[in-house]
Amino acid sequence: MAIESYSKESLVNSTGFSPMDRDILKIVLDNSKQYSLSAANREIIKFKGGIK
């Protein structure tokens, strides 16, 4: 079973993330890559320094 992946634009415009988390995604994600939801969440946590 393939894991769904999404573009930076799709994730940044997703209502599944808080406005602050979407701002973080704008900073940390690469425009040319695709990300799973879990990968996007890991990037948010890493940016916050491991604090949720």
> Measured between alpha carbons, how far is residue 14 from residues 41, 49, 50 in Å?
13, 23, 22
Residue 52 pLDDT > 60: no
| Per-residue pLDDT at 27 exceeds 80 | yes
The CA distances from residue 25 to 1, 34, 37, in Å, are 26, 12, 11
**pLDDT tens, position by position, 5-17:** 999 999 999 999 9
Average pLDDT of the residues of the chain: 93
This prediction has a pTM of 0.86
